[in-house]
């Protein structure tokens, strides 16, 4: 855990969030913090993230990228190098002047279309100081870069054949940039994916797998394993089938 604190201290200003998750009691967690002087956040859950992430041993670490995808697991090594690589493309929501508080909230919620429209209105109007105008202009560029980055991420997923992940990112672009060019490009790309029989099968398989993962949390291991094997068989040859088969093997080991 000391190493996690070191990483948290070194990279948090660049956007790295370190979150420890446990189902231990509050007393044990407080003692751990007191003994180790841990500074990173610790979440005490009442769910079962171990099952959700397919964890078989403790501690286990994951590195999740800016689009919510698992980019690294601790069986690979080279964590810090991967953090450096991912942070090259991370652009934190810029801190705007107090006058733009509502716009800041829109950006933090992912309403980039609304934020962009408001920023353009502010810039076109009067009464902004030079500092405020500069901040608004930089925020506009940040929004445009964010849209381009999300489209590039979807493209990278597609090149890996992970059309479900690509479709998820494209859906986010369509929702976040409604009425803007990134949304139009995302819709065009997504329509093309869904018209392709094999790509759509990947998307359908991914949707079924994700819903089944959630359902498996309330099932006995043997029942969940059977469900995952059924998915692996039905969608053989897809990314989702590979993941479902791995889950089935893990769940069968718990019986």
CATH of the domain at 173: 1.25.40
HSE-CB for 144 with a 13 A CA cutoff: 9
- Residue pLDDT, tens place only, 162-177: 999 899 999 999 999 9
| 92 is a domain residue | no
25-37 mean pLDDT: 85
Which residues span the domain enclosing 23? 2-87
Are 231 and 186 in a shared domain?
no
Look over the chain and give the mean of its residue pLDDT values, rounded to a whole number: 88
DSSP 57: S
- Residue pLDDT, tens place only, 225-245: 999 999 999 999 999 999 899
Report the C-alpha gap between 115 and 108 in whole angstroms.
Answer: 10
| 7 is a domain residue | yes
Are 133 and 75 in a shared domain?
no
| Total domain count, the chain | 3
Instruction: Locate all alpha helices (DSSP H) within the chain, ordered by sequence.
Output: 2-11, 26-36, 49-52, 79-87, 101-109, 112-124, 130-159, 163-176, 181-195, 197-216, 221-234, 239-253
Banded model confidence at residue 70, pLDDT cuts 50, 70, 90: confident
Which pLDDT score is estimated for 89? 65
- Whole-model pTM: value is 0.75
Higher pLDDT: 232 or 65? It is: 232
Which pLDDT score is estimated for 54? 66
Which pLDDT score is estimated for 56? 64
| 243 is a domain residue | yes
Rounded percentage of the chain residues whose pLDDT exceeds 70? 93
Are 8 and 64 in a shared domain?
yes
């Amino acid at each position: 855990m000391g190493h996690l604190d070191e990483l948290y201290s070194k990279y948090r200003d660049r956007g790295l969030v370190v979150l420890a998750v446990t189902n231990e009691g509050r007393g044990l967690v407080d003692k751990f913090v007191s003994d180790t002087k841990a500074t990173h956040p610790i979440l005490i859950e009442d769910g079962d993230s171990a099952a959700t992430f397919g964890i078989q041993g403790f501690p286990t670490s994951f590195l999740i990228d800016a689009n919510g995808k698992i980019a690294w697991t601790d069986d690979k090594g080279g964590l810090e190098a991967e953090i450096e690589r991912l942070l090259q493309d991370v652009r934190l929501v810029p801190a705007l002047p107090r006058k733009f508080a509502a716009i800041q909230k829109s950006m933090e919620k992912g309403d980039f279309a609304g934020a962009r429209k408001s920023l353009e209105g502010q810039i076109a109007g009067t009464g902004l100081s030079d500092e405020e105008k500069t901040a608004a202009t930089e925020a506009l560029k940040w929004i445009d870069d964010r849209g381009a980055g999300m489209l590039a991420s979807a493209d990278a997923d597609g090149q890996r054949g992970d059309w479900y992940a690509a479709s998820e990112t494209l859906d986010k672009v369509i929702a976040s940039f409604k009425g803007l060019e990134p949304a139009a490009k995302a819709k065009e790309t997504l329509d093309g994916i869904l018209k392709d029989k094999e790509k759509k099968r990947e998307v359908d398989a991914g949707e079924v797998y994700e819903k089944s993962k959630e359902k498996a949390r309330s099932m006995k291991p043997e029942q969940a394993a059977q469900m995952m094997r059924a998915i692996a068989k039905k969608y053989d040859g897809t990314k989702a089938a590979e993941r479902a088969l791995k889950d089935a093997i893990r769940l069968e080991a718990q019986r």
